Structure 1
Amino acid sequence: MSQTTPSVSRRQLLQFAGLGAAGLMLAGCMPTGGSGAAAPSSGTALAPGTFTPADFSFSSWSLTEEAAAPAIKALLDGYKKKDSVGITEVSFPYNEYFKQLMLQVRGGQFSGAAHVDVAWLASLAALGKLQDVSAFTKDRGYTASALEAAQYDGVQYGFPWTIGAIGLVTNSELIQKAGIDEFPVTIDEYEGALKKLKGLGGGVIPYAASTKAAQLKDILIWMETFGSPLVKDGKVTIGDDASVEAVTWYKSLYDQGLIAADVDRFDARSLFSQGRAAIYDDAPVGRNTVVKDSPDPKLGEKIVSESRPVLKKGDTPRALVWGGAIVVVGGAGDDATGTAADFGQWSTSDLDAVLGDYEVRGLPPVTEEAQASDIVTSDAFGSRFAEKVTATATVNPFWQYPEYAQVETAVADRVQAVLVGQQSPKDAMAAAGEAAQKLIG
């Protein structure tokens, strides 16, 4: 089956990322009554110069990650020195972060600035406690597409921090050792290449694909690669021939030892950094993480991003939009809230702050000035990633539904059942599609 999803411009797909994003429907976390549209913010829009610098809290899952935490702490230290304020750090591991943030915001236990995935904006906005930060984003040089990615229902609820995609990252040295002269274009060629990589021996995992339930949502991009739209005209298509073929193929990779059991994104990074995996899925942020943790001082020179293989030549390679933003929680007239907004503006648009962070984490910046800087344009990995991965990225079609995370969990659980031999791909995907349809209505 060929890929049928129409191409969209980068501006369009980022707009969809902001306007179509929605988060996990936690019991008691969403307002009751109504259609689920965003509730009003907690006050009028914030404005620069209307507050006295004050201490505030900053929340980010990156503070729990060994490779990313130093860069975030350096950013916080830079702002503390700039305005002589204190910043309380709040953090949870990524797989727990959204649930914990939602609970704390709803319960009034958190106020300040929070690092969020752009897919979560709708759910957080629906709590009625996010601030409109449009006065702080005005004339700061953000690209139009980046601003749109941090909006919901036409309101600028976030400062865009980084916008990119998730795609394949490879160890070019292992690829070459396996005798693979050119990275495979089609699924069949890709499986052949994985077999060659397995032939290297030494315990090398050809493709450190996600196989833990927490990250098995990655299978959705392979379903799209096989031709399933996932959702069409409001109807879930999982259970169609394409999705069954994708999961059957994934299971075959598992049975052949071309992918491994019990792997999530963090496991994959560790395996890749140790030279024990040749290919895995990640966003650009993964580069610095694996390089920092690797015993190979030259690993950074060997990391190459590649387009995801397609079902047949001529299809468009699939990739998933990925992005982060900073939102502000609190009362509009509160000095701490104003300071949190000022921090959001500074950390995402001040050229020195942005480029300093880029040099450490390598995340795509969101201002025109930063994107045009020598540091960014001379980054070979970043440029190739943008060309090979981000250029054809699209959003998860389930993001438009408040129950999207529950849908992903329902699908992941059924895929895991296939991997361990508890269900056939056909039965499992039929069950997954039915569960997903019930969730979105």
Structure 2
Amino acid sequence: MNDYTNFEEKGYQIVEKITDNIQGGRVTYKAVKIDTQIPVIIKQFRFANSSNWDSFKEIEREIDVLRGLNHRGIPQYLDKIDSGEGLCLVQEYKNAEPLSKLRSFTPEDIKHIITQILEILVYLQERIPSIIHRDLKPENILVDDDLNAYVIDFGLARIGNATMAVSTMQGGTFGFMPPEQLHNQKLTEASDLYGLGATIICLITQTKSQDIGSLVNFATNRINFKDKASRYSFKFIQWLEKMVEPDPSSRFANAQLALEAFKPLYVVRVPEMRISSKVFEYEAQKLGEKVQFTVELNNSVPDTELQGSFSMVDHPGDRLSSPKQITASNPQNAHSWISVSEPVFKGNKIKCLVTTDTRDLRAGQLYQRKIQLISNASEEPYIIPINIKTAPIPVENKSIPYFWLCMLFAASLFLPLQLVLIEEVFTIVGNRIESIWQ
């Protein structure tokens, strides 16, 4: 048993319930038209289940809006039904998933999806009268397996000159509403761009809709997302920042201008990382010497910014058991004798000073270590070998004083004469002893 409304008298058969907003009295079904077996969506407002007439007005508003729309990216209005339990909207079914369902898209996929949504907004803004959706968010943008994008749920949409009177309908989703909508101020053609921009931010940073507030700086009303989108091109990030400017006058004025600015951009453009040297070899000249060398990183790819960090590759000869971040301010927390002046780097011309402190190392030894660079230039880390040979223990060289050298030399001159005299003395003494014994 189920509590599905019977729509067979109206020519539709329910397949499944998709959503059930009990508090709002709204239920969404997937159904088929009996005579054609074509799938449809039925949105129903149940009078008996709710006294929330805002939900009823939303369905009425969506019917009014969809009746006048004809765009491949907007599921078509098909029918309006009074089921006896409430007002129903019948709409074209699209076999697609909302962007709120996190999926992996290539940079080309993302550009294709964004372009389609902007084209839908251009259509809405250029028609007469124009339409402001007012609730663009990941749940209201569908994408199918062929990367066709659709905008749904026009229950909060506003029909009429978008730059004129203040909206009379409250609503929207926190984090995706522009500040002017949040404060019930005048809406413009730039208003929907904010919701689309926030949706794109969720898409590229893999942020769930309910967590978008974690990216908002409430002191400035800005969405801070750049640290989570380092792999995306610099120009694309600038474009996206303009989409979500808190001040509507600082955004693109309309969807057409946003689309024109977006078309030539690379969503992802990978920077290069040219390194000054592939290996560093040094020999210390004295015990305890601090050996320093500079690593230069350069990127010349336009519209990109090189970002990354240095870290140590673990070595069994060191005290640490796992690779650690090299921290210049406190190298003991990172490695016992290697530190880097810029362990985290950002820019296109970077100079980092690597210091190796040999005070705690054994003399006359060769130490071979590796530093890895993790950056947005490559999915794989770049390895820099470092070979440091410590200075040997010096041998003490005691010199003989000059005076004693002279005395030794003089002695060496008289030594043959002295030996002759000694020989003569021993001869005389020997002869005398021999005569006595005789």
TM-score by length of 1: 0.18
Larger proportion of strand: 2
Q: Which has the higher contact order (CA 8 A, sep 6+)?
A: 1
